[in-house]
Structure 1
């Protein structure tokens, strides 16, 4: 018996009957021989971690564009926090941690530079529109490595369904959708306080009384509410839910962030976002009109002749510093020295 087969047997023995089992996966688009030492979900996790798209997340904005400070979240640290929260919930509910982790690590691979502002701009200017969850699926299916990562159905489904109206087919995918909200609601408050946009006293008492008065306390409350709220629903409804009062407080806190941080930036932050918006618009227009400015391998990876999609893929894959560097290369004159 191989190591992989022993791990698959362990899944059958210890996981909930509602858990997704790697040996029962719906499979990959292109068939492959199984690994001797890793389950299919472990293999997917490893492919995501070793991908270039994953490494680029370290230089992509979460909320604050190019913050001066080591402790602000990036898209990579957000992804790691989601994975930690999701694994804790999955472990407590006897669900598949490997599948949960793979989905969490891949859920934001398609996110743009400059955070959600970048996503909004591409959605406005691209004829096909743009959604980062759909782009994340496109990264793992098409763009990464010149042909995609050929992940299992369950991981792909969890990635594209981590946000939006459509729910993931697996409980593990639904855990990631909840963990994503828990992570960004809490760390965006933490970063907003660090950046001086909020203070702890600004958080409405109706939410802090329910969730807690500290960053760690709020995360702890939400995770426990997701575990306790789901224990019954996994059996009866095949779903992941939070206890209603905690969920309502979390969503109230999320709306508070929209009203006071995401959509109500101070003048300095708004100015920097306008600059980033100009970068994305300028790059997109230039690339669509002169597609040869995009490297040949990037053009080929898109597997299409549509310049707008090729430009969208290329820009969405950029880190913040790379987008700035390309803009400077194409739009900022260089000094001529004799």
Structure 2
């Protein structure tokens, strides 16, 4: 909810286009919260949506859980996807971190979840142990360096940015308001965005 197509590249492209044309910013978590406001959700759920990423820390235990498990899920699923698509080979992964967390995605998730539960019980707060949390953050850094921002991703990111920019400029030229443009683009899937751009010619 609230995520534009093409992940971080799409969010960046929409943010830049909004700044260039309207002097405004786009953050998917803030946009998600705007959508959620119409759903009569509790303050705790809205806080979790807003703070699952970014600088602001969650105010609730539930929000703290969401913030950590969001990373647990995307890091491990993205590793599996990168291996499946030949972007990474399993031996490329940081050996010490994989040895600690587990060779397979399911093993890593199991280790991370157990650590989160056990560390949280010990401390009375939602936390990871320094060792396991550090290994997860090391894998996250590795993924940013090698996958999310790696050389193979640059072409796809440029394609994504160009698609978002083309759609954005088409909608601006058509007289759409910034809120309409953001809602429309942020509601697109990758496939829909690419089809839309192709139809624009």
TM-score, length of structure 1 as denominator length: 0.56
Kindly tell me the number of residue pairs found equivalent between the two proteins.
197
Match of 1:119 in 2: 11
Q: Residue 291 of structure 1 contacts residue 311 of structure 1 at CA under 8 Å; is this kept in 2?
A: no
Q: Distance in 2 between matches of 1:115 and 1:222?
A: 24
Q: Distance in 2 between matches of 1:111 and 1:327?
A: 18
Q: Pick the aligned partner of 1:326 from 169, 174, 196.
A: 196
Match of 2:26 in 1: 130
Q: Distance in 2 between matches of 1:273 and 1:167?
A: 29
Match of 1:174 in 2: 64
Q: Distance in 2 between matches of 1:326 and 1:202?
A: 37
After TM superposition, which residue ranges in structure 1, 4 or more long, deviate above 6 angstroms?
A: none
Q: Distance in 1 between matches of 2:130 and 2:93?
A: 20
Could you give the per-residue CA deviations for residues 51-105 of structure 1, whole angstroms, max 9, x where no partner exists?
xxxxxxxxxxxxxxxxxxxxxxxxxxxxxxxxxxxxxxxxxxxxxxxxxxxxxxx
Q: Distance in 2 between matches of 1:265 and 1:151?
A: 41
Please identify the structure whose Cα radius of gyration is greater: 1
* Residues 57-68 of structure 1 aligned to structure 2 (within 5 Å): none
Q: Distance in 1 between matches of 2:167 and 2:33?
A: 23
Provide structure 2 residue ranges, at least 5 long, that are not aligned to the other structure: none
TM-score, length of structure 2 as denominator length: 0.92
Q: Distance in 1 between matches of 2:104 and 2:189?
A: 32
Q: Pick the aligned partner of 1:233 from 116, 119, 123.
A: 123
Could you give the per-residue CA deviations for residues 170-201 of structure 1, whole angstroms, max 9, x where no partner exists?
11111011100110111111000001011111
Could you give the per-residue CA deviations for residues 285-332 of structure 1, whole angstroms, max 9, x where no partner exists?
12112135xxxxxxxxxxxxxx223212211111222222322232x1
Could you give the per-residue CA deviations for residues 1-59 of structure 1, whole angstroms, max 9, x where no partner exists?
xxxxxxxxxxxxxxxxxxxxxxxxxxxxxxxxxxxxxxxxxxxxxxxxxxxxxxxxxxx
